[in-house]
């Protein structure tokens, strides 16, 4: 059940540049076969090929992407991860947000170049480096097996391997005197990646799509959906091939747990190649101590937003539904798909669209125009979880170590200029305090970016500036798709247009048969 637009226009509302262009692409979403780790399996590709292509533009450009779903057996759609429709060039990616499809391969880099790059002149070449866990079974079967009452430990599917650059690996020509900008992107569905370059320090210049002051890092931990831009320089004394190691991290408490319970035997090695004839040594890391990303400072020195006018508290833990099926919950409730997509309800329920009741069990929160909101996430689980908010680079005011318990509201001092990113890892039995400004009308999801936990229900819905969403118009192809599938696009969560406060027909129990998650994607501003 999905009502997407099949003509997706992505205006880049960024600082304009003199030669703003329109980047056009026509994509057929198709099944193909691939063996990125040597095991042949069906994957979802573009125009009959996989890996999926890289989208590149410059700030100020417009991307017009025409998508035709030719899968035959599944609906599909794309989410452009990190794009917030303001002046924000950077390293992004696109991926399906439907039926757990991105672990099946529907994903790719989205690079928005910056004509006013503050680090311009400090590097000579750009390298895209993607890393991911990888599964030999298709996502739907993996999720079906996970959502069984017998899964009393709430275990997600465990990956079969790690792949780099979608199986093509990474041997990078390394030349004395040159500095390389690595755009590192995690496509992972579950595992984080520990990263280390032999004999070379990474100079971090961007977290997700936010510039930071150049910061040294000997190791990085890249959680699912996170991105890091780093500079690495080939200096005069370099005269061999240097390995760099990527090891899957199973999201345990790496600071305190035994090393064997932290890093899986799944790892990959790339090379900074100075001598193609070899040798190619291995990199061995005895102890992982990745840099603390929260200590990195925003390049622009922006102050913490304020004063705070609203606080949203989300307590995350696992739970079971009334049928005994394992779920992942905020405040004791999993996200449950409703009949009407939330954005349509916001547009068609008049003054009642400020009442969270009308949206059903999607964990809805109303955020007023101009408000400054603290989002407090208390992670009650024993593992690290990455949380992502659509449409925002949030400020991370606090993210302490593990086992400190839930946030008590006043126990620590926040930085005057907090770092920003769109996906943050929250330590086990601990919390994070995030802060956003509400200046973009729309419906934005906040969810764990372990894809399996999304399918278990670990999502909340932020309805921002609902008064500005009333009576908004939608592209006709959105409406046509809903009509074709018999999906109502007016009224409350159940499609009731006569009494939108009537909750009697809402979906209150997750379905016993897995049909995937549903989100309406409007990656461009609708007209009001």
> pLDDT tens for residues 493-502?
999 999 999 9
Distance CA 459, CA 328 (A): 9
Q: Considering 63, 90, 113, which residue would you say is the last residue of a domain?
A: 113
Query: Residue 79's domain is classified under what CATH number?
Result: 2.60.40.420
The confidence score (pLDDT) of residue 410 equals: 73
Task: Tell me, yes or no, whether 501 lies in a domain.
Answer: no
Q: Span 298-307, mean pLDDT?
A: 97
CB 301 within 8 A of CB 125: no
Top pLDDT among 314 and 261 is at 314
Same domain assignment for residues 256 and 365: no
Task: Tell me, yes or no, whether 526 lies in a domain.
Answer: no
Task: Tell me, yes or no, whether 301 lies in a domain.
Answer: no
DSSP character for 477?
Answer: H
> pLDDT tens for residues 162-191?
999 999 999 999 999 999 999 999 999 999
Q: Considering 262, 295, 328, which residue would you say is the last residue of a domain?
A: 295
Same domain assignment for residues 227 and 262: yes
Q: Which residues are within 8 A (CB) of 102 and not within 5 positions of it... i.e. 6 or more apart?
A: 95, 96, 187, 189, 451
CB 263 within 8 A of CB 247: yes
Q: Considering 242, 268, 295, which residue would you say is the last residue of a domain?
A: 295
Same domain assignment for residues 182 and 154: yes
Q: What is the mean pLDDT of the chain?
A: 91
- Residue 99: give the domain boundaries: 7-113
Same domain assignment for residues 345 and 435: yes
3-state SS, residue 400: coil
pTM attached to this predicted model: 0.93
Same domain assignment for residues 330 and 472: yes
Q: Which residues are within 8 A (CB) of 309 and not within 5 positions of it... i.e. 6 or more apart?
A: 368, 371, 372, 373
Task: Tell me, yes or no, whether 349 lies in a domain.
Answer: yes
How many domains are contained in the chain? 3
Q: Which residues are within 8 A (CB) of 47 and not within 5 positions of it... i.e. 6 or more apart?
A: 26, 27, 28, 30
Same domain assignment for residues 89 and 34: yes
Same domain assignment for residues 282 and 403: no
Same domain assignment for residues 134 and 246: yes
What percentage of the chain reaches a pLDDT higher than 70?
A: 92
Residue 515 pLDDT class (50, 70, 90 cuts)? low
């Amino acid at each position: 059940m999905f009502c997407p637009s099949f003509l997706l226009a992505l205006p880049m509302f960024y600082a304009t540049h003199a030669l703003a262009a329109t980047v056009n692409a026509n994509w057929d979403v198709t099944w193909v076969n691939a063996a990125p780790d040597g095991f042949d399996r069906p994957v979802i590709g573009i125009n009959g090929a996989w890996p999926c292509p890289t989208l590149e533009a410059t700030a100020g450009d417009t991307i017009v992407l025409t998508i035709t779903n030719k899968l035959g057996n599944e609906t599909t759609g794309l989410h452009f991860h990190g794009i917030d429709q303001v002046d924000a060039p950077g390293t992004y990616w696109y991926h399906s947000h439907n039926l757990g499809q991105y672990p099946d391969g529907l994903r790719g880099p989205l690079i928005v170049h910056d004509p006013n790059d503050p680090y311009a002149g400090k590097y000579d070449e750009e390298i895209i480096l993607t890393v991911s866990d990888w599964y030999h079974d298709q996502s739907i079967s993996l999720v079906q097996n996970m959502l069984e009452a017998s899964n009393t430990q709430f275990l997600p599917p465990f990956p079969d391997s790690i792949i780099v650059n979608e199986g093509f690996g990474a041997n990078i020509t390394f030349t004395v005197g040159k500095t390389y900008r690595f755009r590192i992107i995690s496509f992972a569905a579950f595992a984080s990646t520990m990263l280390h370059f032999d004999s070379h320090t990474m100079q971090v210049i961007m977290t997700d799509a936010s510039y930071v002051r150049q910061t040294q890092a000997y190791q990085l931990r890249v959680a699912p959906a996170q991105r890091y831009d780093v500079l690495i320089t080939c200096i005069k004394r370099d005269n061999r091939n240097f390995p760099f190691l990527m090891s899957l991290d199973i999201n345990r408490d790496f600071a305190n747990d035994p090393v064997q319970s932290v890093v899986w035997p799944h790892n990959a090695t790339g090379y900074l190649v100075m001598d193609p004839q070899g040798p190619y040594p291995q990199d061995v890391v005895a102890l992982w101590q990745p840099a603390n990303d929260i200590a990195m400072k925003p390049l622009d020195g922006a102050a913490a937003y304020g004063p705070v006018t609203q606080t949203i508290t989300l307590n995350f833990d696992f739970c079971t539904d009334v049928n005994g099926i394992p779920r992942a919950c905020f405040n004791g409730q999993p996200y449950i798909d409703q009949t009407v997509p939330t954005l349509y309800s916001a547009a068609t329920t008049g003054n009642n669209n400020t009442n969270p009741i009308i949206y059903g069990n999607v964990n809805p929160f109303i955020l007023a125009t101009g408000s400054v909101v603290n989002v407090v996430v208390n992670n009650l689980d024993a593992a690290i979880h990455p949380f992502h908010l659509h449409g925002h680079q949030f400020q991370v005011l606090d993210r302490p170590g593990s086992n400190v318990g839930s946030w008590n509201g006043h126990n620590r001092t926040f930085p005057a200029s907090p770092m920003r990113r769109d996906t943050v890892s929250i330590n086990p039995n601990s919390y994070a305090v995030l802060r956003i400004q509400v200046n973009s009308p729309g419906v934005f999801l906040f969810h764990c970016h372990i894809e399996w936990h999304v399918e278990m229900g670990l999502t909340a819905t932020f309805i921002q500036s609902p008064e500005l969403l009333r009576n908004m118009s939608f592209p006709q192809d959105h409406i046509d798709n809903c009509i074709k599938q018999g999906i109502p696009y007016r009224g409350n969560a159940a499609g009731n247009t006569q009494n939108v406060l009537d909750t009697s027909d809402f979906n209150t129990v997750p379905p016993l048969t897995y049909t995937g998650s549903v989100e309406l994607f409007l990656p461009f501003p609708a007209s009001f």
